[in-house]
Every structure is written in C-alpha cells, then in structure tokens.
Amino acid sequence: MTDLTDITTPLAAQAIELPSWAFGNSGTRFKVFGSPGTPRDPFEKISDAAQVHKHTGLAPTVALHIPWDLVDSYSDLRKHAEDNGVGLGTVNSNTFQDDDYKLGSVTHSDPKVRQKAIDHHFACIDVMNETGSRDLKIWLADGTNYPGQDDIRARQDRLADSLAKIYERIGEDQRLVLEYKFFEPAFYHTDVPDWGTSYAHTAALGDRAFVCLDTGHHAPGTNIEFIVAQLLRLGKLGSFDFNSRFYADDDLIVGAADPFQLFRILYEVIRGGGYANPDVAFMLDQCHNIEKKIPGQIRSVLNVQEMTARALLVDTEALKKAQACGDVLGANGILMDAFYTDVRPALAEWRESRGLPGDPMKAYAASGYQEKIEAERVGGTQAGWGA
Ligand code: PSV
Ligand code: MN
Ligand code: MN
C-alpha cells in the first residue's frame, strides 16, 4: 500500500467549500429533473451539505448564493450551520436573472441599471457581515451577442467604475473575488472573459481583490495549470471553482471528465504555495442534474482529495534534478509515477485512523439520511437556474 506518512499533515489541512446550489434541483435548458428529498429552503441545503463534511471531514463550509439563499435571518442560518458542524462561506452575487439585466448589469449603459446591480452587491456585503463570510464572489453574465451591439471598451470602463464602488464597501477583512468566463450566456463577447481581464481589474482595485478560476470556464485545450502558476506568481489567485467539463460549462463532478488535468492543476497549486493556504479558497461549483446530490458532492470532495494526495506524492527533488539536467522523459516519468499511484486503499485506512469512514460513499448510503429526506421533504426548491 502507498505510504502516506509524509503527506498526512497537508492532507489533514484540506478544506473544500461546497456550493449551496449543488443541493437544489438543477438541469439544462431542456429539462430540470426533480429529485426526491431536495431541500425546501436554505436551512435544508445546509443540513445536506453538513452530511458531506460529516462523512469526509473535507467540507467545513458552504457558499451561499443571493437571492437563491434569501432568508429572514442570516444569524439564524449561521447558527444552524454551526449546530450542524459547518460554517457559512463565500457569498455569490446574482445579477443574471432579472429582466433589467438583459443588456448587462454593472456594465449596462443606463446608470440606473448599473446602480441597481451595485446595490445588489451592497446587499450581499450586508449578508457577509452577518454570516461572517470573507469573500464576495462576482460572476457576471454581462456581454453582447453581436459585433457592434455595444461599445466593448466603454463597457470595460463602466465595469471598472462599478467594481470600484463595490470594492470600496467591502471590509478590511473581506475580499472581492472576480470570476471570469469566456462565453455564455453572451456569445459574441463577455465582459470578463479571461484571467487577464480579471487580473487587470482586480490589480486596479487593490490588495483585497483577487481572481476566481472556474475550471470549466476556458476554451477547450486551454492549459489551466499554466494560468494557476501565473496567478500564484502574481499573488492574485483568490479561489477555485472546481468542476469538470467535456464540452462547455458542464459543471460536472470535479475530476470526472479529466482526473489528470485535476492532478496537474493541484500539482501547480502545491508547487506555487497555494495549497492549504487561506488565501486560495478551494470551492466546488457544480450541479447534479441526474445523480443524487449529497453522494455527488461526497464523490467530488473525494476526487479532489485523491488527486491532491497524488500531487503531494510527486518526488519534487528528483523532478528538480531531472529538469535541471534536461532529462525530458525522466522528468515526465517522475510526474506520471505520482499520477498513476493508486492512493485509494491508503486514504481509506488513513480516514479510519482519524475516526472517519474508510468509504464515505458507502457510509452515507448506509446512514439512512437519504431515505429520511426523501420521505420527509416534498416540493423541494430549484437550485436557481431557471428559477
Ligand atoms: C455560471 O457560469 C456559473 O456557473 C458561474 O461559474 C458562477 O460561479 C456560478 O454560475 C454561480 O453563480
Ligand atoms: Mn463558477
Ligand atoms: Mn460556470
């Protein structure tokens, strides 16, 4: 069995934030399939997320999405989370489901619409102050569908201006994290399409503004680990939205489509000092359209743990030597040896030694929780997409 002795300290420090929306129903524009036991409110989403942490010890916080997770009292929600052994994390804004934002939100040419979008972010900061959250994550659906539709440069200026107003409002211990995405829902141009644009804006804002890298938001073939290395070099990698994709923004279980890519990304995170570093938040951004949501999230965090273990096992000294003497195939072989190491039996044993189930998927299935929520809950909520 693989010897994990040298890597258990960093492994024990792993924390992956779950998205509240992964527990609601979601789907494609073709159909949202309802699943029995879906949470009826944000409190139940948190209870479900807590199951993931209970069985894996890997997911101590849950990200909220406003207004999908609108509640009367965020201190009650916070208390509920704490009672269930988890905390509330990143607050995600939403300026993509309101008719006013058809032609843009913080980039809109109408100052009234821009102000409405800015005010929404102020409301999100109010929520953060109650939940104790550190990060405000902004993903914008802003963009255009046709060349000439709007002045793409003026939109950059309006974006910079709106972001500066939002940034001014965040507290000393809070951060603004700007996510990029190269297309969708806009198809001609997106106002924050790539890491460079997010970097340019967050660098202009200041030290408490960072880039969020969603692994599903790049053109096929993009070398994501290079972006990770570059952002870590620049001190601007704030967070990850992990998921996997075959074609577009599929939001599938992380590591499902391409575990090797996840390994390569995690290797660069570790190499660049971004692992178990509070400045680089590991989050999931996934939807479970056809599979059960809680086991879907358990599988996801285990995939991240497994690829992290493999990346931590890279013989970095030997790799450095091979690289220094130009041993192309030797260096590649050292990286591949770690990638091909089956760490699952050793991880199961290590989990048990820490009082966790060796097989969290099995433990959840045997716990009776799924049957209980399916019997108790009727009329669950949409995750938000299409809501
Ligand atoms: C839309 O692409 C998206 O998936 C972004 O990645 C956000 O992080 C997420 O929705 C939630 O707003
Ligand atoms: Mn995302
Ligand atoms: Mn996305």
Domain boundaries, the chain: 8-314
Say if CB 51 and CB 364 are below 8 A apart.
Answer: yes
State the fold for domain 8-314: TIM Barrel (3.20.20)
- Give the separation between CA 297 and CA 253, rounded to whole angstroms: 8
List, as one string, the DSSP characters of 123-175: HHHHHHHHHT--EEEE----EESSTTSS-HHHHHHHHHHHHHHHHHHS-TT-E
Between the alpha carbon of residue 7 and those of residues 18, 315, 344, 360, the distances in Å are: 24, 12, 14, 20
- Ligand closest to CA 216: 3
* Ligand 1 lined by 179 (C-beta under 6 Å): yes
Nearest to 69 by CA among 91, 48, 54: 91
- Dihedral sign (CA 3, 6, 11, 12): positive
Minimal CA–CA distance to 251: which of 290, 221, 207, 282?
290
Cβ of 268 less than 6 Å from ligand 1 = no
* 229-264 pLDDT tens trace: 999 999 999 999 999 999 999 999 999 999 999 999
Instruction: Give the number of the ligand closest to the Cα of residue 139.
Output: 1
According to DSSP, the β-strands at 189-190 and 143-144 are: antiparallel
Tell me which residue of 195, 211, 337, 328 sits closest to 263, measured CA to CA.
337
Q: CB within 5 A of ion ligand 2: which residues?
A: 214, 241, 285
Q: Phi and psi of 274, rounded to 5°?
A: -95, 0
| Pairing relationship of beta strands 87-92 and 135-138 according to DSSP bridges | parallel
User: Residue-wise pLDDT tens for the chain (387 aa)?
Assistant: 999 999 999 999 999 999 999 999 999 999 999 999 999 999 999 999 999 999 999 999 999 999 999 999 999 999 999 999 999 999 999 999 999 999 999 999 999 999 999 999 999 999 999 999 999 999 999 999 999 999 999 999 999 999 999 999 999 999 999 999 999 999 999 999 999 999 999 999 999 999 999 999 999 999 999 999 999 999 999 999 999 999 999 999 999 999 999 999 999 999 999 999 999 999 999 999 999 999 999 999 999 999 999 999 999 999 999 999 999 999 999 999 999 999 999 999 999 999 999 999 999 999 999 999 999 998 777 777 655
List the structure tokens of 41: 């409110």
